[in-house]
Amino acid sequence: MPTPAERKALLFFSTVLVLGASTRAYRTLHSRSPADAQARSALERQLKAADSARRSGLRKPKREKKQKTPPRPAGPVDLDVATEKEIEALRHIGPTLAKRIAADRDSFGPFGSMDGLRRVKGVGPSMVAKLDSTVTFSLVPRPTNRVISRPSELPKARRKPHLRDTLR
């Protein structure tokens, strides 16, 4: 419940608001200046231009509906030769991971096995277990000269003994 002082303040602000709105309405309804005629004619030109654009079919294109997920493949997918769309159709693989798998295969050669697939960022032991029955590999993997594809595979740096450690 508002106090008497708050009631007075609310009454004052509401009175100012009503007076301001009625003054604006009065000025708008009773002003016939030449600027109003120019503004009205400009507005009518804009309306005509908009109507002609609607009639001629220059509307904004409708938003495209979200594409449905691709149909699931009937048999196992060969990841050594599959396209991005075929890879994306696999369960648990989205468009980003499909692009990453295809890019890795194009850069470093065919996977050859599930171990080769694990070099792709985002494919870990659980993903390999999920994909095990739905994928196959037809090509022989390219021999590598110890390509390190993950930071976790980097060898640990050895700490060099400090001079003061050797003097003790």
Domain holding 104: CATH number?
1.10.150.320
CA 135 to chain centre: 28
Count other C-beta atoms under 10 Å from residue 79's C-beta: 27
Residue 42 domain flag: no
Q: Of the candidates 74, 75, 81, 90, which has an alpha carbon nearest to the alpha carbon of residue 123?
A: 90
pLDDT in tens, 37-48: 788 888 889 888
- The residue range of the domain holding 105 is 77-138
Which residue has tokens 């009639």? Answer: 55
CA dist 5 and 11 (Å) reads 10
Domain assignment present for residue 69? The answer is: no
The answer to the question of residue 37 being in a domain is no
Q: Residues near 147 by Cβ (< 8 Å), separated by ≥ 6?
A: 108, 119
pLDDT at 154 over 70: no
Token duo for residue 57: 């079919």
Mean of pLDDT values over 138-166: 62
pTM of the model: 0.45
Q: Closest Cα to residue 90, out of 24, 101, 160, 57?
A: 101
Q: Is the pLDDT of residue 21 over 90?
A: yes
- How many structural domains are present in the chain? 1
Distance CA 128, CA 142 (A): 20
Q: In the chain, pLDDT over 70 holds for what percent of residues? A: 70
Rounded-to-integer distance, Cα 48 and Cα 34, Å: 21
Answer yes or no: is 132 within a domain. Answer: yes
pLDDT at residue 23, rounded to an integer: 93
